[in-house]
Amino acid sequence: MISFYPGPSRVLDTIPQYVAEAHREGILSMNHRSEECMLLIQRTISLLKDKLEIPIDYSIYFTSSATECWEIIAQSAVEKSSVHIFNGAFGQKWFDYTRRLNSNTKSFEFHREDSIPVEDISAHDGDLLCITQNETSNGTQVSGSELEKIRKKFNDKLIAVDATSSMAGIFLNLSDADIWFASVQKCFGLPAGLALMICSPKAISRIKSINERLHYNSLTYIDSMMQKWQTPFTPNVLGIYLLMRSLQDRDSIHDVYQKIVQRFDLWIDLFSNMRSLKLLISNASVRSNTVIPVAASSGLISKVKLEARKMGYILGEGYGELKNESFRVANFPALADQEVNNLMNFFTDSGY
């Protein structure tokens, strides 16, 4: 079975080999305070900076999930309040988790067919803006040029970006925001249980001045441990090793991005020419490159999912309120050309 689910998704073919190596080399029982583990973490961070073109002065931390990153940001990076700008279920969840910790949290919603309305956004007295770059639930994205505009307009604020289903798949200009995060079970092609948080020097100095220290995962504490290439708790050492090994074998982010866009164009072309299966998002300028939602009657949606499964392909369920009337196709780097071609042929041959 090949999973085109937009996370967890198909993992890299090299995973079994990397796991065997990890076992052979004693990684699975490695002490997380040992010299070897510190070297592993240091090496992984330097590969991340290199392969994802992360600015050299940004800091990288390991957490367990993107959900944990939502909470870390709410605890450690907000002075008075954050403003959440979103158009779908993941942005909404981030807002909901934050609101439980801080009743001053504000939201600004826009429609999934619209570009993020940079002109209309007001930060009020908020000090942190929260943006979901790639809204996995409805297959829309905030473009690089819009992020750049937001950076310019709110230069005195911190900007946090959820890039969970796009990081390592598309090129992101990380200097346009202060806090970025993603878990690895999407575009990294790795098993779940590890996430990255990437912070600008401005974010770190703000976090140090807030100096929140109430939690095991307070960012001040995580940052001070990372000075010694360590984490507050025993981290997912196997996950970090798999990340390190896969980064060693990874193409540059520009090459990966080019491949993703080529496939994206083919998918868009295919679904633009189907009779009953239609792209959920009609505004071409907001479509996500990595998650493609397709809409039809609920009867046809269940039929297509079932037929695809018989061929060995798992399509992603529609998310939330879009569950019955749509499915989602992941366009993640770990999917092989042959698998993508086969699934495309399945759709073309179906005549739907």
Member of 128, 195, 294, 301 binding ligand PLP (CB under 6 A):
195
Q: Is 3 in the site for ligand PLP (CB under 6 A)?
A: no
Q: Which is nearer to ligand PLP, 59 or 165 (CB)?
A: 165
What order do you get walking across the sheet with 291-295 strand by strand? 2-4, 313-317, 326-330, 291-295, 278-279
- Smallest distance, ligand PLP to C-beta of residue 263, A: 19
Task: Tell me whether residue 97 is exposed, middle or buried, using C-beta atoms within 10 angstroms of its C-beta: 0 to 12, 13 to 18, 19 or more.
Answer: middle
Contact by Cβ (8 Å): 235, 36: no
CB of 195 to ligand PLP, least distance (A): 6
Alpha carbon of 171 to those of 162, 168, 189: distances in Å? 14, 7, 16
- At closest approach, how far in Å is the CB of 70 from ligand PLP? 7
Question: Which residues 130-169 are close enough to bind ligand PLP by CB under 6 A?
Answer: 132, 136, 162, 164-165
Q: Which is nearer to ligand PLP, 165 or 270 (CB)?
A: 165
* DSSP-derived 3-state class of residue 335: coil
Instruction: Quote the least distance from Cβ 257 to ligand PLP, whole Å.
Output: 18
CA angle 199, 201, 207 (to 5 degrees): 70
Nearer to ligand PLP, 267 or 332 (CB): 332
Q: What tokens appear for 271 in the block?
A: 């679904």
Taking the complex as a whole, the smallest distance from the CB of residue 345 to ligand PLP amounts, in Å, to 28
Please give the DSSP secondary-structure letter assigned to residue 31: -
The minimum distance between CB 130 and ligand PLP, in angstroms, equals 11
Identify residues 225-254 at the interface with ligand PLP (CB under 6 A). Answer: none
**Residue 162 or 176: which CB sits closer to ligand PLP?**
162
For position 65 contacting ligand PLP by CB under 6 A, the verdict is yes
Among 7, 126, 169, 189, binds ligand PLP (CB under 6 A): 7
CB of 146 to ligand PLP, least distance (A): 16
Query: Which of 91, 151, 90 is closest to 121 using CA atoms?
Result: 151
183 binds ligand PLP (CB under 6 A): yes
Q: Given CA atoms 219, 224, 229, 230 in this order, what sign does their dihedral have? A: negative
Query: What are the beta bridge partners of residue 140?
Result: 135, 287
φ/ψ bin of 26: left (φ > 0), alpha (ψ from -120 to 50), beta (otherwise): left
Query: What would the x/- binding string for ligand PLP be over residues 291 to 330, using CB under 6 A?
Result: ----------------------------------------
**Looking at 4, 58, 90, 332, which residue binds ligand PLP (CB under 6 A)?**
90
- Assigned token pair, 146: 């819009």
> Is 298:304 a contact under the CB 8 Å cutoff?
no
Minimum CB separation from ligand PLP for residue 134, in Å? 6
Instruction: Give the SS3 label for residue 195.
Output: strand
Residues that bind ligand PLP (CB under 6 A): 7, 65-67, 90, 132, 136, 162, 164-165, 183, 195
